[in-house]
Amino acid sequence: MLKSQRAAFILQRLNEHYPKTPTPLIHSSIYELLISVLLSAQCTDERVNKVTPTLFKKANTPFEMQHVPLETVYKIIRPCGLAPKKSEAIVQLSKILVAKYSGKVPKTFEELETLPGVGHKTAGVVMSQGFGYPAFPVDTHIHRLAQRWGLTKKGNNVVQTERDLKTAFPEHEWNKLHLQIIFYGREFCSARGCDGRVCEICKTCYPNRKHPFKTKKP
């Protein structure tokens, strides 16, 4: 099966499995989405969604958050891991949003990635799920599945994987597809649930694969 054929099959199956793609992180504003995505680094969405109601009750705008004591933020978000860095980033980026952007979250990758704690993946999620801009954020899960499904050859870093996925799929599918791959990975093709020979997509794309597929970490 050629790469183009694999991509077409994957797109069809994911659209069948997940015709709707609700954003996993619960939020009521772009600012809340930004903070939630920042917290999700090396943490599950489920845990983030348990923490953010308490945090956003304390402050859900950069105007309010900039005045919340760092220790208070730290105590609330501690279950998410990396709390010292994340709490400092939340307070500092809130101050920057107020001082530089009148309290609004900027709408470009370049500006978002200058904010404390905001990398390319976080910026991509905000741009795609928050502003509807075509983007293909790649986390470690998508990076792993892209390799298993033969959609990226390099496998050395998420930047290259992002480029390969953007080439493989139409731009208008990117925002939805990013979430569909995450949903499918959690349900059918997790790190423990499939080794490249178990789930429907893996078996269809590589029916003759006899040994577990070893993915390269980013």
**Among this protein's residues, is 121 annotated catalytic?**
yes
Q: How far is CA 193 from CA 56, 126, 164, 188, 202, in A?
A: 35, 29, 25, 7, 12
**Among this protein's residues, is 50 annotated catalytic?**
no
CA angle, residues 201, 37, 192, in degrees to nearest 5 = 35
Q: How far apart are the first and last CA of the chain?
A: 26
Rounded Cα distance between 164 and 141, Å, is 15
Q: How far is CA 111 from CA 7, 105, 123, 132, 190, in A?
A: 32, 9, 9, 16, 33
Q: Which of 139, 153, 176, 210 is catalytic?
A: 139
Q: Which of 3, 57, 121, 153 is catalytic?
A: 121
Residue type for position 20: K
Q: At what angle do helices 45-58 and 30-39 cross, to 10 degrees?
A: 130
Q: Which residues are catalytic?
A: 121, 139
